[in-house]
Amino acid sequence: MSLISLALAAVLISFLPHLTGVTWGQLDERLVRVGWGAMAVLTGVWLAGLWAYSNVVSDSLPGLSRRRALLVNCVGSGASNVLPFGGAVGVAMTVAMMTRWGFARRPVAASAVVTGVWNLLSRFLLPAVGLVCLLGAGYMPDRRLAVAAGVGGALLIGVVVAMSVALRREAVADLLGRGLDRMVRFLPLRRKPCLRDFLLDLRHSTIEITRTRWPRLTLGMVAYMALQCVLFIGCLRVTGAEVAVPEAVAAFAINRVLTTAVITPGGSGISESATALALIGFGVAPGAATAAVLLFWFFAHLIEIPVGWFAWSVWSLTIRART
């Protein structure tokens, strides 16, 4: 399944120029014009985004330093971008890292829940932000973008309502835990875990984090998304894609929302195809749109894979040295 998903992502990326009506030779001509100075600036913006999201991870787990949070962030991103359903693998790897550092399982699980929810909220909110930017610029969006914004808004409301009910009513967590305990009885396990007690404890930890740290978590997530948007607009500028900022923000929103597609690792290939077509629909030249999308894919997806596995290697070596 993993090989099929990776192959599909590779096919979609390689098929992107054909989809937009350009050749790889034309893309190469545009991309080689991007100077080292522009690449250095884009790299700096990308690193700033990593640091901003590391603050979200650190704030979700009291006692976790910014340096360790940066390692956790890199490892989670690297796993998410190379495997289908990689988000679950990334969570498992980061949980292993935190527990080896001495953090208890309950606050680690609460940290994973909180950061996951804040990620979903930010991505579901983006289509509405893009729609507002277009309306503010006097651009009448087409039906597809309006539908995307409506679906994103509905999902955002659904996540908020579900989270609010689960956190405010202990009976919901209790009912879910009892149901999971009944399911566990049918599994061939020697020790049956008590998921009801775990969920109740997790609920209390999550309430404490969200009640005391939601402003810092929200600020960190907003900073991260804003820096990602600046990186996207920078990729547009250095590749010669002429598009107004509201349209660029709307295309960025489409790109980030579709990264939640689990068909390919990190939605790779799917989000790039949709983003390139959206930019072309906004009047950007096909060659410039495709080059900009591929350059942003390099920073937002491809480069995070080796960086993530390098961070995992650093963590593994430090753990062995301490042992």
User: What are the tens digits of pLDDT across the range 124-173?
Assistant: 777 777 777 777 666 655 565 556 555 655 655 665 566 556 556 666 66
190: phi then psi, degrees, rounded to nearest 5: -70, -45
Residues with Cβ within 8 Å of residue 106, at least 6 apart in sequence: 198, 201, 202, 205
89-111 pLDDT, tens digit each: 778 888 889 999 989 888 888 88
- For residue 290, tell me if it sits in a domain: yes
* Structure confidence at residue 288 (pLDDT): 92
- For residue 244, tell me if it sits in a domain: yes
Structure tokens at 184: 């566990």
Give the mean pLDDT of 177-193: 63
* Structure confidence at residue 52 (pLDDT): 94
* Structure confidence at residue 254 (pLDDT): 83
- For residue 175, tell me if it sits in a domain: no
pLDDT higher at 51 or 12: 51
- For residue 176, tell me if it sits in a domain: no
- For residue 250, tell me if it sits in a domain: yes
Give the mean pLDDT of 198-208: 65
The share of the chain scoring above pLDDT 90, in percent, equals: 24
- Domain of residue 140 covers 24-169+214-321
Does position 243 have pLDDT exceeding 60, yes or no?
yes
CA distances from 53 to 14, 221, 304, 317 (A): 30, 6, 14, 24
- For residue 56, tell me if it sits in a domain: yes
State the Cα–Cα distance between residues 224 and 237, nearest whole angstrom: 20
- For residue 207, tell me if it sits in a domain: no
Q: What is the number of domains present in the chain?
A: 1
* Structure confidence at residue 79 (pLDDT): 82
* Structure confidence at residue 1 (pLDDT): 45
Q: Which of 204, 208, 206, 200 is nearest to 175 (CA)?
A: 200
- For residue 4, tell me if it sits in a domain: no
